[in-house]
Structures are given as structure tokens and as C-alpha cells.
Amino acid sequence: MTVALMWEARAADGRGGELLDWARRQALSPRPLRRETLRAPQDRVLVITWWDAAYDAELPELPEPDAGLVTRAVHRWRFEAVPDEQGGPVG
């Protein structure tokens, strides 16, 4: 099964570049199958990691950044891949 973990944070005013750099430096062990880092308006940073694991598996996640770097607590979501409408495999 493929599981995707999503981590999203909003940087404190003027610190979007710092938050992006911080997120990119965070190592995960073991390493995920795939990892993408994205950014959006309002200095938001999103990191998505994909794992070959059960939905409830214990997996490494990015930590909370220092409180001064973000405007609120990090948002986290977990998803599992499902077949598309045509029945083909995903992930």
C-alpha cells in the first residue's frame, strides 16, 4: 500500500524563505519513496512524502519548526492511495 504524509506550515511575516530552507534540510530516516516540497502564497510550505507502508504504520515525519518561524501549528494529513476509476493501480 502507498501512504502519503502531508506537512503544511505558514511562515511568520517575511520568513517564508527561511521556512522553505528549514523544511528542505529536514532529513527523514528511513527515506521515503518520494518527497516533494512546494510553496504557495502567504509564505506557506507543503511537504508531501510517499511511503510503501500500511496506513497506520509508524513513519518519520517532519517536526514542528521553532515557534518564531511559523504563525500557527503545523497541519498534518495522512492519505492512502486508491485505484483510479478505471481500476488501474496507483503508486
Residue 2 has pLDDT above 90, yes or no: yes
Contact 48, 36 (CB under 8 A): yes
Residue 87 has pLDDT above 80, yes or no: no
Q: How many CA atoms lie within 13 A of 37 on its CB side?
A: 14
Q: Which whole number is the average pLDDT over 77-83?
A: 94
Give the chain's mean pLDDT.
94
Give the whole-angstrom CA distance, residue 87 versus residue 90.
Answer: 9
